[in-house]
Structure 1
């Protein structure tokens, strides 16, 4: 029972932090790279996709995997649903972030402060200007894709490097590495940019009987 709870807790943390690894040898100067990234992010109003997510240790061995669907609307709106191996839901309404485990009947609520918005999925929902002000940005091309590597200027972040991979204007992958060397890789498919999204997806109604934990950051 304890091992099952540990795996479920890890899965919820995986859903909440939501993203991936880093690419080496960035080439473009930071100012030029930031401008290129801004050109891709500024036109993005909303984004919908299915995803596959893997967590790897420092040696590249897979520790955990998940799949699900996500919806994003700027500014600040996110819904991230993990379908397997466990059902988990992360919802941001622009003011608060809800981390919900339906099987445990538990929801954790965090205010949308700077540290929460520096988690990769929520970071995408913010403005491009805030992003490029908070990170050193580098750019290179790999196999025809544009890869942007972000290095946090502040030490108070959940990752040490984050990479975004674009096929033309479309975000297709996110890679993250944390301070322990653990890496997370997310691949997106069935992508829709700037389509129609039901705004009610970004509202979270706490089910009756759910334990509520409000975290103060």
Structure 2
């Protein structure tokens, strides 16, 4: 299912193996963490970054490590390219979601639809609906380098149980992590981040290369 694939890749976005950090409290998130997310989203039009993604199973065993680049255009446009070790490209133009596997010369396209609301990236792209989509809490970060906002989806159909966003004191997004409903853990660390850097609009369209097999489930 594409929502599962999309949510694994985004993190917008794992809980580290054996993580046993309790929430600071069960009520409203600390004002600083919520404010940091609001500052990050305020005025945000595009967000670009290189990323490193680590996927672990429910025991913490590393299943895959990969590197790539992403460009996000609000509200629902995305370019997500895994460059190593297994190339894959995901593109959303706001209406359709394309997943392209160059090694297999195969592409799958599906309407984005309301399913986007159940993905981690909705936390960033639809900040005005944050309280509608999520319950919020705060967890401590060991080195105190960031504030960790924890979002628990209200949507019972969401493919993840909770989402972590690490924001620095100056409101830069450095990490997105989540655990899916099967216990698989995904952690994405962003670096070389750029805010409102003027991403080429062509990034958010996908033109299948000649010879590509296209599937429309």
- Do these two structures clear the TM 0.5 threshold for a shared fold by scoring above it? yes
Which residue number corresponds to residue 132 of structure 2?
A: 133
Within 5 Å, which residues of 2 pair with 1:2-41? 13=5, 17-19=9-11, 20-22=13-15, 24-27=21-24, 29-30=27-28, 35-36=34-35, 37-41=37-41
Aligned CA RMSD, in angstroms, stands at 2.3
* 1:158-203 Cα shifts (integer Å, max 9, x gaps): 1011101011211000111012221001111111112121111101
Q: Could you tell me how far apart the structure 2 residues matched to 1:13 and 1:140 are?
A: 26
Paired residues of 2:14 and 2:55 also in contact (CA < 8 A): no
- 1:206 is aligned to 2:208: yes
> Any stretches of 5+ residues in structure 2 without a counterpart?
none
* 1:102-151 Cα shifts (integer Å, max 9, x gaps): 1111111111122234322x425522022331110112442131111110
Q: Could you tell me how far apart the structure 1 residues matched to 2:112 and 2:7 are?
A: 17
> Any stretches of 5+ residues in structure 1 without a counterpart?
1-11
SS at match of 1:64: strand
Paired residues of 1:52 and 1:68 also in contact (CA < 8 A): yes
Q: TM-score of the superposition, structure 2-length normalised?
A: 0.84
Within 5 Å, which residues of 2 pair with 1:66-215? 66-120=66-120, 122-124=121-123, 126-142=125-141, 143-168=144-169, 169-215=171-217
Count residues in correspondence: 203
Q: Could you tell me how far apart the structure 2 residues matched to 1:132 and 1:41 are?
A: 14
Q: TM-score of the superposition, structure 1-length normalised?
A: 0.84
Give the stretch that moved more between structures: 60-69 or 23-32: 23-32
SS at match of 2:210: coil
Paired residues of 1:16 and 1:99 also in contact (CA < 8 A): no
Paired residues of 1:77 and 1:125 also in contact (CA < 8 A): no
Indicate how the Cα distance of structure 1 residues 15 and 133 shifts in structure 2: closer, same or farther if over 3 A, else same. Answer: closer
Give the stretch that moved more between structures: 173-182 or 17-26: 17-26
